[in-house]
Amino acid sequence: SRLLKPPGTTLGGAGVALHYANLIVVMEKMIKQPQLVGLDARDDLYSMLPASVRSSLRSRLKGVGFTATDGGLATEWKAALGRILRWLLP
């Protein structure tokens, strides 16, 4: 049936729906409870990103000095992840 086979131009048709669902789950955890997110979760999120996004992120973070307890950085990350989620969610 046509309803069961999504077009190739959609996330489901391209076979990446589960990948992006997992990405959204990790980002939601980071937004809702950032204090519970460890280095492993951060690394998982980073590895889920497309290569072009990882490259862009690396270049933007070069030379940026911050610590893991930087409250301003946490606020910026929360806002950025929120924008990404709004873009990804229907």
Where are the domains positioned within the chain? Answer: 2-88
DSSP for 9-32, please give it: TSTTTTT-HHHHHHHHHHHHHHHH
Phi and psi at residue 82, in whole multiples of 5°? -60, -40
pLDDT given for residue 67 in this prediction: 58
User: Is residue 77 pLDDT above 70, yes or no?
Assistant: yes
User: Is residue 36 pLDDT above 60, yes or no?
Assistant: yes
Q: What is the rounded distance in angstroms from the CA atom of residue 85 to the CA atom of residue 50?
A: 15
Mean pLDDT value of segment 35-46: 80
Q: Which residue has the higher pLDDT, 65 or 82?
A: 82
Give CA angle at 33 (73, 84), nearest 5°: 60
pLDDT given for residue 3 in this prediction: 63
